[in-house]
Structure 1
Amino acid sequence: MDLPPGFKNRGGKGKVCGLRKSLYGLKQSSRAWFERFGRVIKSHGYNQGQADHTMFYRHTDGDKVAILIVYVDDIILTGDDSNEIERLKKILAKEFKIKDLGNLKYFLGMEFARSNKGIFVSQRKYILDLLGEIGLLRCKAAETPIEPNLILQPANPEEVINREQYQRLVGKLLSLSHTWPNIAFATSVVCQFMHSSGPEHFEAVYKFLRYLKGTPGKGLLFGGYGNLQVEIYTDADWAGSVIDRRSTSGYCTFVEGNLVTWRCKKQSVVARE
């Protein structure tokens, strides 16, 4: 390892640098960091979420709530108790080295914009960077993410091509499903062939990408409509998979008119007549 610029070696030759702290690179560093972080947060009255262990919340007087979400060393603070959020900032600044970046604008590839109508979440930059990486910025846009009634089957071992590239592209498409509920079904189809990708599977993925080219700025709008009604919609096909005769089911949940959860997944049991 080269010595950093400006370092003066006063001890002569043969000296080495000793690693005291590391957040990246070591297998146990992320676990040790999260245990330390969680211990500090919970000691100040916060509860850890059961569905999402990276979320911590605390209910205060007047039915208000403060929420903290952490991903490695990126943290989001939200809630309707501004005093508690300020208190939490001081706690974090005392225990860790942090930097307040102000209102949320960008987080894990997602962009956030505020207006009078609400908060708009999109992944426009992520999509454009992906298209530029694979050379499809000037391609002709497609109208749908996948061909209707498309039937894909695993490629024969001798026909499998570029498995790692296919897995990397599909992994990036999975990241887009955080703000694109309309691609949930198409994503569930192409991700079934991670280890058996052939030319027809790449063709399906590239059509997927051409669809993104036409609508990179789409996203989700979260607004307050004054109605706390919860609506859930679900549907499933009947033995839609020609490979194992399993059905694919999907659902979406609306709270106060805002889409909050959605999923499309092949069922774990076989449909029988």
Structure 2
Amino acid sequence: MEEAQVADIDLETNTNHPDQDQVVRPPRPRCERHVPQRLDDYVCTMLQSVMPMQAPSQSTNSGDPYALSNCVSYNSFSSIHLSYLATISSIDEPKSFSQAIKNENWQKAMRQEVAALEKNGTWTIEALPLDKRAIDSKWVYKIKFKPNGTVEWYKARLVAKGFTQIEGFDFHETFAHVAKMVTVRTLLALASIKHWELHQLDVNNAFLQGDLHEEVYMKIPQGFTCNQSNKVCRLQKSLYGLRQASRNWFEKFTTSLKAVGFKQSKANYSLFTLAIADNFVAVLIYVDDIVIAGNDGARIATLKHYLHSAFSIKDLGP
């Protein structure tokens, strides 16, 4: 009886609305794709599929309407470029210490990294106080290639696990100033109008230059041991991965420029200026990239020599 009643209700519903299936709905408007306004300062193109979107067929494995093969092609590459791609693709970078320790090249790279850190005075070996905790570290591996695709050198970088730090315990402030883009444009415009010299510098291992003010302890790097048991590394200088590394580097760079007469701008703390009579030199820093502009070539050369002696600067030229 219950099944018959349900069937009767369905029949009556269809009878009361005979034109229900014939209702014509207007087509939905198509949304036009526009480049976001925030990307106006950049050269970019919207990714579009070469092939029109089609329903996946049963014969294809993935059924992806936006397959990578529709957007990327190797047909235009030269034979030399293809050889280069094949070379760098055949060498895998280790993802963990257990993989890297099996290769003699990575062993040598890790020894060189630790030797460089010790030479820089990055840490001292001390006993861990009872009220302190030691953070851990990890190795990050990267292969540097020459233009012809051959391996130039193996880079092993020791990175502290700063995400385990506790605010107020082993770090306080992390913010570091970077140059505003409007300041970069203004400085370049002035240099062009007034025919100033423009030089670009890069700081080698910038984050390793900052001095630590907090008491931070780190475990012995993986793969290395200490002659004395229960010893850890007390960090004297910043290390990649620490929360306060960028701030400490910027603080030391600021102190070094003020020591030779530069004044820090109040509108943009990343801009430093030096004006003596008609001579003018401006320094703008963005993390570890430095731009120098001015009309005094001799003073710029002296400044570059001073920065190189203080931080090991890579001069990228005009």
TM-score for the superposition, normalised by structure 1: 0.33
TM-score for the superposition, normalised by structure 2: 0.28
Greater Rg by CA: 2
Whose RCO is larger (CA < 8 A, sep 6+)? Answer: 2
